[in-house]
Structure 1
Amino acid sequence: MRIERWSVLLLFIPLLAIFGCTSEQEIEVPKAVKSLENVTVHPPDTEPAGEILLEEEITYEDIEEVTRGRISGNVAVDSRGRVYIPDFQAKVVHAYNADGSYLDSIGREGKGPGEFQMIRTIRVADDTLHVLDYTFQKISVFDLQTMKHIHDMQLSISEDMHQSPPWLDWTRKKKLNYKPLDFYVRSDGNYLIFFGDMAISSVDNVSGRTYEVSLYDPIEKVYLKHDLLSFAWTGQTLIDQSRKGMTVMFRVPHKRGSRFAYTGSELIHGWTEEILIKIYDEEGEYKRAFYHRDPDIPLAVEDALAHYKDSGENVVRAIRNDTLPETWPAFDALKLDDEGRVWISTFTRDPHTSQWWVLDGADGTLLARFDWPRKKQIEQVKNGKLYTRETDEETGLQKIIRYDIKIK
């Protein structure tokens, strides 16, 4: 078995202050932070105090009986350590035992109950798997004891609904078709449904897009509330028009966007412009926030292009024609582990390396920082394990790799 060890510096620091109890001369903070109540501001340039070892354990990949297609959406892990991987080509969810052996496939391609066309998001809640199909705008639920289908829920929105959302009118006027993009299962079994439009038909209807959060009751199969929360959406989208047509790029690293996570009782949101993490309760009420100073990594055109190695001339032209910000975003990815800690990836001067920060979910205290290859995308941190999505350089096939986390 191949072993990789990555040294990670662990830092435990005392809480500096709740903003309002410290002077602006001590720490300069942006206006967005000053306007908030109950926000914790942390000191910059703190020093590490420990070490973490990440030891590669298990690879979840193709076997003789199953050839997996491209992974679609996210990867989920249950309390037993079983791993669930959505397959874009086969339109099923592959289930693996904790030891890496193949367990079963869940669902199948089709238009009926428990069948998929485009898997967007999967979530594990207790002993059930919930699968959001973007094409059919539905969630299918499966029993993880038997791997059998339980029921489907239709999530689409229309004008003749008993309670139509307040954003429906203006989105239709902008020729937007808001659909469910993501969801979380609340502690009471209800769903937080995130609506938005991922399609790009013209440059004119990109600005002003949002994520709209609604509350859905899966028992009664009705929406309970539509205006729970609203967040900015850019999709990190870059659009370039030329005589050769329009080039649209999603999740462009140097663009800003919203990131989310859910603890089971609290919704966590960050806008990547700065390391300002806000926490909301299940009813959409703001509770608290924490802030760390932006690393301020300078951005040049060649730095942006380094993230698109071997891309076509359209991509290169789009980035060169874009108006680049002076710096990279404050952070990129946002993850949450099962102990309530927030993991965020920040940019470094090396375009191939991220620096991950591990933060206490209660007040944002910095617990750890470590460098990690960007090509090893962290998917999940659960049960003391870290799961990454990686691509085999020889075959081009994607695989999920599990690392054991040891703290020294």
Structure 2
Amino acid sequence: MKHLSLVFLFLLSCGGCINPDSNEIPDHLKGIENLKVYPSDESAEHSIQFEQARVFEESDELIFGRLRNVAVDDSGRVYISDAAQSRATIHVFDANGSYISSIGGYGEGPGEFRSIISPQIHDEKLYAMDVRQMRINIYNINSFEYQNSIQLNPGNWSHIEELSNIFPSDFIILDSNRFLLSFIKIEKHQYLHYHYLMNNSGEIISDMILDQVQSEHFELPDNRGVYHSPYSPSGNIKVSSADEIYTIWTEDVLFKKYSLNGEYLSAFYHPFANKTLSNSEVLNYLENEEYKAAVRNTGIPEKWPAVRSVVMDDKDNFWLETITESETENQWWVLSSNGELLSKFNFPTSKSSRIVTDDAFFALESDPDTGIQRAVKYQYRFE
């Protein structure tokens, strides 16, 4: 196991900033009620310092496939989902980086997976969703044994017209008895998410709380299918410890806040200069004539999204990876739940954050020598 003590100091920069009048709002955002607009030249309250603390990697007894997500329990144990074909398991490490066990495994038996979505820890239990088998598997994190599953039975929502012929795609734990369940619907080049409350018996217990565009893609002529677009904005949803829902459409640094019953409360916005996108960059992404036909049929975005990814930490702060002109690193912003700018730092694009706790930033990255995926824990502190 590698233990590195290299310290990284990420300096503040203004690579993603613009300098219009602080009251200037894009036309498509005008009319949003209770919107707080932050000035484009706002200074961050803190700098931030990182120290690489632990590496969670392969060993003689463990081979990784395709790592996807990370969860951390109160004792510091780390759970890494491996979505490689015919593997579908969750690897468990102790806080010091030593491999303990693997949970699940590919199959259709109790506690097994055919796919793994969103491993999460709550109340001494590990939850992970299997969208192919329509269930959420639950494990005891002290014994690592399978406990039970919440069956996602379409019969439980057959009375809801909007959910006809669509299926769950993700979930967020609210407490031991309630979950925010997301359903995905495909409409031409858009993937839509419908959000509902579900109990621990798999029953829908609310009307639709929110609907949002989850992603946009390039559509082939005559509705013959779509190609994934890495250049289009996407929709994200987060839930705070106070059960407040936040949504972001990554075209802008714009967060909207809702109550748990879907009532709009407020929003905040930070001006941002989106990176320009060229036609050739989009068309040459794939050397595939069908892909190019889909691009020409749908149209090419003029600019990149403002935000590549969003993580909410244990203190309800948002960590945003903003897209900059650099090809090798992006600028991360740390915002409070009210939108105040806490810090900015630059971080390599090759390191993809999956979870942030109150003192640690976990990223999936590739070993610089072998190219094999691994998870890395960085301790951080604000100064």
- Where do 5+ consecutive residues of structure 1 fail to align? 12-23, 170-176, 199-204
1:124 matched to 2:105: no
1:187 matched to 2:175: yes
Of 275, 278, 294, the match for 2:256: 278
Question: 1:68 is aligned with what amino acid?
Answer: F
Describe the shift of the 1:394–1:6 C-alpha distance in structure 2 as closer, same or farther (beyond 3 A): same
Alpha-carbon RMSD across the aligned residues, in angstroms, is 2.9
Question: 1:60 is aligned with what amino acid?
Answer: F
- CA deviation string 1:162-203 (max 9, x = no partner): 76223134xxxxxxx4221110111363111001047xxxxx
1:400 matched to 2:375: yes
Describe the shift of the 1:147–1:27 C-alpha distance in structure 2 as closer, same or farther (beyond 3 A): same
1:212 matched to 2:194: yes
Describe the shift of the 1:314–1:370 C-alpha distance in structure 2 as closer, same or farther (beyond 3 A): farther
What is residue 60 of structure 2 aligned with on the other side?
64
**1:332 aligns to what SS in structure 2?**
strand
Q: Does the CA-based 8 Å contact 2:256-2:268 persist in structure 1?
A: yes
**2:206 aligns to what SS in structure 1?**
strand
Q: Distance in 1 between matches of 2:151 and 2:139?
A: 15
Of 87, 105, 108, the match for 2:105: 108
1:182-331 equivalent positions in 2, closer than 5 A: 182-187=170-175, 189-197=177-185, 205-207=187-189, 209-218=191-200, 220-233=201-214, 235-239=215-219, 248-250=226-228, 252-264=229-241, 265-301=243-279, 304=282, 312-313=287-288, 317=292, 321=296, 323-331=299-307
Q: Distance in 2 between matches of 1:326 and 1:221?
A: 42
Describe the shift of the 1:247–1:57 C-alpha distance in structure 2 as closer, same or farther (beyond 3 A): farther
Shift of 1:317: 4.3
Please report the TM-score for the alignment, with normalisation by the length of structure 2.
0.87
1:143 matched to 2:140: yes
What is residue 172 of structure 1 aligned with on the other side?
none
Question: 1:59 is aligned with what amino acid?
Answer: V
Q: Does the CA-based 8 Å contact 1:165-1:227 persist in structure 2?
A: no
**1:225 aligns to what SS in structure 2?**
coil
What is residue 161 of structure 2 aligned with on the other side?
166
Shift of 1:241: 6.7
Q: Distance in 1 between matches of 2:96 and 2:290?
A: 40
**1:278 aligns to what SS in structure 2?**
strand
Q: What number of residue pairs does the alignment pair up? A: 371
- CA deviation string 1:61-81 (max 9, x = no partner): 111111121124x22112222
**2:339 aligns to what SS in structure 1?**
coil
What is residue 17 of structure 2 aligned with on the other side?
none
What is residue 40 of structure 1 aligned with on the other side?
36
* Percent pairwise identity: 28
Please report the TM-score for the alignment, with normalisation by the length of structure 1.
0.82
